[in-house]
Amino acid sequence: MVAVDSNLLRIGELSHQSQVLIKTIRYYEELGLLQATGRTSGGFRLFKPNALTRLAFIKRAQGLGLSLQEIHHILDVHDQGQRPCHEVKQTLQEKVQQIEDRMAQLSLLRQELLALIDGAEGLVQADASICPIIENTG
Q: Assign 3-class secondary structure to 97-112.
A: HHHHHHHHHHHHHHHH
Tell me the pTM: 0.80
Residue 102: give its domain's CATH number: 1.10.1660.10
Tell me the residue range of the domain where 50 lies.
9-120
Residue 33 belongs to a domain: yes
Residue 131 belongs to a domain: no
Q: Residue 13: which of 66, 43, 51, 42 has the closest Cα?
A: 51
Residue 125 belongs to a domain: no
75 vs 50: CA distance, rounded Å: 13
Contact 70, 57 (CB under 8 A): no
Residue 135 belongs to a domain: no
Q: How many domains does the chain have?
A: 1
Residue 86 belongs to a domain: yes
Residue 1 belongs to a domain: no
Residue 136 belongs to a domain: no
Q: What is the mean pLDDT of each run of 10 residues along the chain (138 residues)?
A: 72 97 98 95 93 98 98 98 97 98 99 90 71 76
Residue 101 belongs to a domain: yes
Q: Residue 12: which of 23, 3, 4, 2 has the closest Cα?
A: 23
pLDDT score of 2: 46
pLDDT score of 132: 81
